[in-house]
Amino acid sequence: MFSAWNWVAHGLYLLLNICFLEVSGGLVQSCGHIIPESPVLALGSNFTALCILNESCLDFGNIYANQIIWKIKNRVVPKEQYREINRTVSSVTFNDTSSLATPLTCNILADGQIEQNIYGITVTIGLPPEKPKNLSCIVHQVSKLTYPMTCTWNPGRHTFLDTHFRLKYRWPQENFPDCIPKDVNNSCTITDVQFFVNLEVWVEAANALGKAESDPLVLDPIEIVKPLSPHNLSVNSGILPTVLKLSWENRISAAVMKLKFNIRYRIIGDTNWMQVPPEDTASPRTSFSVQGLRPYTEYVFSIRCMKEDGVGYWSDWSEEKTGVTTEDKPTKGPPIWRIIDASHSPASWTVQLMWKALEPFEANGVILQYEVTVRAKLSLSSPPEKYSVNTTNLTLKLPNGTYEVTVIARNRVGASPPSVLLIPASNSKAPVKNVRTLPKDGKLWVGWTAPNSYVLKYVIEWCLVSNSSDCITEWQNEPGNVQGTYLKGDIKPFKCYLITVYPLYADGQGSGQSVKAYLQQDRPSKGPTVQTKKVGKAEAVLTWNHLTVDEQNGFIRSYTIFYKTIDGNETAVTVDPSKTEYTLSSLTSDTLYTVRMMAYTDEGGRSGPDFTFTTQKFGKGEIEAIVVPVCLAFLLIVLLGVLFCFNKRDLIKKHIWPIVPDPSKSNIAQWSPQVPAKHNFSSKDQMYPEGSFTDVSVVEIEADDKKSFSEQDLKPFDLLKKEKSTSEGHSSGIGGSSCMSSPRQSVSDSDEGEATQNTSSTVQYSTVVLNGYRDQTPVQVFSRSESTQPLLDSEERSEDHAGGGDSATQRQQYFKRNGGQDETNTDRPCFERTKQITPANEGDLVGFAQLQISGQSSQPLGIELEKNTQEAALSDVLQTSTEGQTVRPETVEGSPLSVDEMPKSYLPQTVRQGGYMPQ
């Protein structure tokens, strides 16, 4: 704390010492000052400044000169430049003021702690004025009596100081007030001067660093006059078509000054001026006739003047005036050329004559018409043909031959000299050689090598080649002694021109030699569009069209084809520009390629659009090498299959197309109850041969209805059971029922063993046998089976059909009648159909039997007798059946059930003597 307070007290003490205030009349006195005060210094000179301290500050604050610090713009001046003169004065010296800047300040360091500013000055650095140079004066005529004089000079370098200039002038015995420039430092205008008296003129320049004066100029103001230009200029046509007369007025008095003139003129539309010879207008005048002009041409004129002796200045050019010379005869005939078309007929030509309109300086007036004369050279006796046209072309049909054509242009004054063109029968003369072109200076130069013979003149013919417009022919004539010229038409850059050079002789002409040329080439407007013509496995044929002439913009020097895969590097191939097809080889199969094409001229190339294609997976012939063997193998397999089927045709026919007997030839169709079949059984063995039962037809009754039968009626059931168990070892199954039952294959124990054939030709029929109650006369009803199996082959034997035609007809009608009744009920259940049969016969119908007939004609007939016996026995049993009981036939399938397990009973039909058996 003590140390901090000591510093504060010491700072206050220093402040009081440095800034000691002496109050006297309200003013504050400084502790010192700098000498000189705000000096102006010359750039690069030496300078010394002194800082003087007041005595009062020395006693109060113990401040001395050795504590002074000099600064320039707050930058401390090195102490080597200080000098302590005494304890109150310190100086600083600068050897080069170019490093000096403002302000320059004097500062002190009290007790070596705090720096304080004492005084400061502003230093101005500049240069003294230079001597003004190049003093000149001119007297401008403002009006007829007013002539102010303006003098100009070179003020010299920039001084960086305020420098004042004064124009001083005087007569030898009289001075005039100075002319002080306004807003400028290099000119001043004296409003009025006197002529014919010498006047001395000079310039004085002054600033803070000094003064300078120019060399004096002594002159007579009349010698430096720039007069006003002549006015009221007029132009009039003269008597001759090549002369125009000019008139004007001068605006300076001839007593003051005599004048000479300059006259200039040009053709309107032209920028180049022509002048009348100065010596022709070197005397005072107010008019002049300009000669040597072109007839019927509009000119622009202008005029100026100056002092006759040439001392002084030319006036400005006067305002421009125009005039037109009168007409004259054309100076030359129009250039003529022809186009011959001999394509329609070799014996005659279509000749198109063309000539150019004369230039204005050649026409010398308005061309009213052209007179064309055509004369055949070989027949001089025939009169020439003459034509008068207003256009610059004429089309004629002429026989093949040599003709001389003359064209004359006529205006109001007269006719031009004739232009002559010789049309030979053939271009048999020598042509030019080595036709070449060269763009030069924005023009197209055409050169050629002249033939050895003397050439009268050359015709250079050219036209713009374009797809969008016809080739319009232009031409120009050149003398026979030249071998090159510039085309004079409107030649455009980036356009193709067809140039042809014809040599014309006195007695004919040579054939034309042509060349194509461009004034300036550029890159093509677009690139070629490439397509594929043929794509293979490892190659692709690319094709494209040439760019049109309008798209080329120059001569196509080459084509470059770029192609690549999706992830591969791009490959470039250069192609001759005359080609339109190229084959890419060594490609990868089944690969997508991207291809583009660039066309190059001398100025660069441009690329066309990208095109993609995919190479084939198989090459040429590879697919055929695979397909042909496969097809041959397939044909061989088919052929072998056909041969195999042909050899096994019987077996195939048996499995696919079995022999189906004709139902109309079946024995059942010839059988009827009224005409029973007669069977002669000579012995019991024939009647019941062992093992001859192949199918058993059963009658189904409900097992629960046994109580309705007497013991006498049920005895055949026990016999049936026994026979059934015995026959199971010999038979393969029970015959099928007429109600939704499937037939079983029958296996016979006979020696003939035809089980397979019998099975394939099995057909089922059913016979309902109704026995009267207790040996009463039965009423039999027959119904057709629903089976779709084919008829038995044995039923088609011819010996079973011996019954007479009448009985057969009756039996067929009977079966048709009864069969029709049964067919109407095929969709109903068997139980319902059985119930319908009972009331239909108005008897005690208690059941029916299903009889399955199978086997061949060679089967023993004992089975039929046994079946008839079974039917008779079954009829006796069923006689005890009450009215309304259901009798359902069913074929036994699978393994037979025991008596206790059977829900139904199967009654074999008992065959009685004299009974009816289906055949």
Whether residue 825 is predicted with pLDDT greater than 70 in this model: the reply is no
C-beta separation of 871 from 847 below 8 A: no
Q: What is the pLDDT of residue 32?
A: 84
Coil/strand/helix, residue 545: coil
Query: Using 50, 70 and 90 to split pLDDT, how confident is the model at 827?
Result: very low
Q: pLDDT at residue 390 above 90?
A: yes
- Do residues 451 and 510 touch, judged by C-beta distance below 8 A? yes
- If 0-12 CB within 10 Å is exposed, 13-18 middle and 19+ buried, where does residue 757 land? middle
| Of 107, 124, 125, nearest in space to 116 by CA | 107
What is the number of other CB atoms lying within 10 angstroms of the CB of residue 302? Answer: 20
Residue range 632-668, pLDDT digits in tens: 999 999 999 999 888 888 888 888 877 777 777 777 6
The lowest-confidence range among 427-436, 471-480, 886-895 is: 886-895
The predicted pLDDT at position 408 comes to: 95
Evaluate whether 422 touches 402 at the Cβ level (below 8 Å). Answer: yes
**Binning pLDDT at 50, 70 and 90, where does residue 594 land?**
very high
Sole residue written with tokens 């319009």: 472
Residue 59 reports pLDDT greater than 90: no
Distance CA 645, CA 648 (A): 5
Q: Residues 178-190: pLDDT tens digits?
A: 999 988 889 999 9
* Separation of alpha carbons 698 and 726, rounded Å: 16
Phi, psi of 211 (to 5 degrees): -130, 160
- Distance (Å, whole) CA 234 – CA 390: 37
Lowest-confidence region among 347-351, 523-527, 862-866: 862-866
* Cis, bond preceding 577 (omega within 30 deg of 0): no
Report the alpha-carbon distance of residue 556 to residue 192 in Å, rounded. 77
Rounded CA separation 641/805 (Å): 51
pLDDT at 2: 35
Rounded to whole angstroms, the Cα distance separating 115 from 96 reads: 27
Give the lowest-confidence range in 384-393, 424-433, 822-831.
Answer: 822-831
List 594's β-bridge partners, or say none.
Answer: 564, 612
pLDDT at 511 over 80: yes
CA distance 280 to 267: 21
> What number is the average pLDDT over the span 424-440?
88
Checking if the pLDDT of 759 tops 90, the result is no
Residue written as token pair 């070629």: 528
Say which residue, 36 or 729, is predicted with more confidence. 36
Mean pLDDT of the region 76-82: 89
**Alpha-carbon distances, residue 716 vs 719, 768, 902, 905 (angstroms):** 5, 18, 16, 11
> Among residues 861, 736, 748, 854, which one has the least CA distance to residue 794?
854
Q: What is the pLDDT of residue 482?
A: 93
pLDDT tens-digit readout, 341-360: 877 677 788 899 999 999 88
Q: Identify the pLDDT of residue 795.
A: 43
Q: 145 pLDDT band (50/70/90 cuts)?
A: confident
Measuring CA to CA, how many Å separate 611 from each of 245, 551, 552, 649?
A: 76, 20, 21, 62
Give yes or no for a contact between 62 and 94, defined as CB atoms under 8 angstroms apart. Answer: no
**Residue 694 burial class via C-beta count within 10 angstroms: exposed 0-12, middle 13-18, buried 19 and up:** buried
The CA radius of gyration of the chain, in Å to the nearest whole number, is: 74
The answer for residues whose C-beta is within 8 angstroms of residue 733's C-beta and 6 or more apart is: 695, 744, 745, 746, 891, 892, 893
DSSP for 730-781, written as a single string? T-S-PPPPTTTPPPPPP---STT--HHHHHHT-EEEEEE--PPTTSPPP--E
Q: Encoding tokens for residue 7?
A: 């510093």
Please determine, for residue 491, whether its predicted confidence score (pLDDT) is greater than 80.
Answer: yes
For position 151, what pLDDT does the model report?
95
CA 511, CA 577: separation in Å to the nearest integer? 29
Q: Give pLDDT tens digits for 473-483.
A: 898 999 999 99
Cα 504 → chain centroid: 52
CA distance 843 to 770: 8
Residue that wins the pLDDT comparison between 99 and 132: 132
- Is the separation of the CB atoms in 151 and 181 below 8 Å? no
pLDDT at 3 over 60: no
Q: Are strands 40-42 and 124-126 parallel, antiparallel or unpaired?
A: parallel
pLDDT at 373 over 60: yes
- Check pLDDT > 50 for residue 615: yes
3-class state of residue 685 by DSSP: helix
Specify the DSSP class assigned to residue 241.
Answer: T
Q: Which residue's structure tokens are 């779709």? A: 788
Task: Please tell me the predicted confidence (pLDDT) of residue 608.
Answer: 94
The mean of the pLDDT values for the chain is: 75
Helices of type H across 419-553 = 549-552
**Among residues 742, 738, 734, 771, which one has the least CA distance to residue 850?**
738
pLDDT over threshold 50, residue 808: no
Q: Over 60: is that where the pLDDT of 159 sits? A: yes
pLDDT digit string, tens, across residues 700-750? 454 444 444 455 555 554 544 444 444 444 433 333 333 333 333 333 333
pLDDT confidence of residue 287: 94
CA triple 352-356-361, angle to 5 deg: 165
Percentage of the residues of the chain whose pLDDT score is greater than 90: 42
How does residue 264 score in pLDDT terms, banded at 50, 70 and 90?
very high
The band of 674, judged by pLDDT with boundaries at 50, 70 and 90, is low
Select the more confidently predicted residue: 157 or 67: 157
Q: Kindly give, in sequence order, each residue whose CB lies less than 8 Å from that of residue 897, ignoring residues fewer than 6 positions away.
A: none
* Separation between Cα atoms, residue 507 and residue 429, nearest integer Å: 9
What percent of the chain clears pLDDT 70, i.e. is strictly above it?
68
Check: CB of residue 739 under 8 Å from CB of residue 888.
yes
Question: pLDDT at position 111, please?
Answer: 63
CA 105 to chain centre: 79
Question: Cα 772 to the chain's mean position, in Å?
Answer: 107
CA dist 47 and 65 (Å) reads: 20
CA–CA distance, 41 with 125 (Å, rounded to integer): 5
Name the helix (H) or strand (E) containing 170: strand 164-171
Confidence of residue 60 (pLDDT cuts 50, 70, 90): low
pLDDT of residue 624: 81
pLDDT at 500: 94
Distance CA 334, CA 418 (A): 8
Question: Which DSSP symbol is given to 674?
Answer: T
Structure-block tokens of residue 673: 């109850």
Higher pLDDT, 470 or 267: 267
681-692 pLDDT per residue, tens: 444 444 444 444
Check pLDDT > 50 for residue 388. yes
Q: Is the pTM of this model over 0.85?
A: no
Position 166 pLDDT exceeds 90: yes
Determine the average pLDDT of the residues in 231-243: 91
pLDDT of residue 112: 57
751 Cβ contact list (under 8 Å, min separation 6): none
Q: How far is CA 158 from CA 99, 130, 163, 181, in A?
A: 19, 9, 9, 17
pLDDT at position 354, please?
Answer: 92
- What value does the mean pLDDT take over residues 156-173? 90
Please give the Cα distance from 247 to 204 (Å, whole number): 47
548: confidence class by pLDDT, cuts 50, 70, 90: very high
- Could you give the 3-state DSSP secondary structure of residue 707? helix
Provide the 10 A C-beta neighbour count for residue 826.
9
Q: Is residue 630 within a helix (H) or strand (E), and if so which, with residue range?
A: helix 622-647
What pLDDT does residue 18 have?
A: 42
Tens digits of residue pLDDT in 174-229: 888 999 998 888 999 998 888 888 999 999 999 989 999 999 999 999 999 999 99
